[in-house]
Chain A
């Protein structure tokens, strides 16, 4: 079983839709969870960061972590064509040091006008 599983999509939705992106993981030691957004021909940029379980909201974006189920989600409300990108989940057990982030494969999202 891979440490992090993410459905690669592609996912295509109409403008204004609510988008749900998800990752599951197997390592119960993971405590720090991130979502990166990657536009075509660009590097990934950090979108959301959460520590441990719970929800975090930033504008139209909400990140949820359910550690009991080893499941994280990113919700996008009122999706816009500018949200069209690949979304990567990432996680790690500890801050700093030499521990590396473990990434999902990314979900490609297209929001159609």
Chain B
């Protein structure tokens, strides 16, 4: 399965600032996924990033708040804009691939833990 590297692994930010999270995959993939994992909540899909086209956002998430770049088939960034304490969360990058059973499964990066003061 793919190996995913995320940076930063954690950060503490001030309210009103923005932070960009980077995701690097060791193989070319068509789609990359950005998830949010808030304490006590389900893993929630923010958006799907396709190379060469606009990201597709899930209900409740908008491009102005979470702009995404996808410049090539191995890299993507997620920016959390104008942050508030409610944005404190773990942000995870993910790709889909063939598991050992042949099934279509997700592989995740280690996540970026963001704390907004």
Using CB atoms and an 8 Å cutoff, list the residues of chain A in contact with chain B.
Answer: 4, 8, 32, 34, 41-46, 49, 51, 88, 90, 95-96, 98, 100-106
Contact = CB atoms under 8 A, between A and B. Distances in A.
A105 B41 contact: yes
Please report whether the interface of chain A is mostly helix, strand, loop or mixed according to DSSP.
loop
Interface stretch (B61-69, B70-78, B81-89, B103-111): B103-111
Interface size class of B (residues with CB under 8 A): 20 to 34
B1 to A, nearest CB: 8
B117 interface: no
Interface in B8-48: 9, 40-45, 48
B52 interface: no
B92 interface: yes
A98 B48 contact: yes
B105 A105 contact: no
Nearest to A46: B105
A26 to B, nearest CB: 14
Interface of B: 4, 9, 40-45, 48, 56, 58, 92, 94, 96, 99, 101, 103-111, 113
B103 A105 contact: no
B111 A43 contact: yes
B29 to A, nearest CB: 13
Contacts of B109: 43
A97 to B, nearest CB: 9
Nearest 5 CB-CB pairings of A with B: A43-B108, A103-B43, A103-B42, A95-B104, A43-B110
Contacts of B56: 98
29 contacts: A32-B103, A34-B105, A41-B9, A41-B110, A41-B111, A42-B110, A43-B4, A43-B94, A43-B110, A44-B43, A44-B108, A45-B108, A46-B99, A49-B101, A88-B43, A90-B43, A95-B103, A95-B104, A96-B96, A96-B104, A98-B56, A100-B45, A101-B106, A102-B42, A103-B42, A103-B44, A105-B41, A105-B42, A106-B43
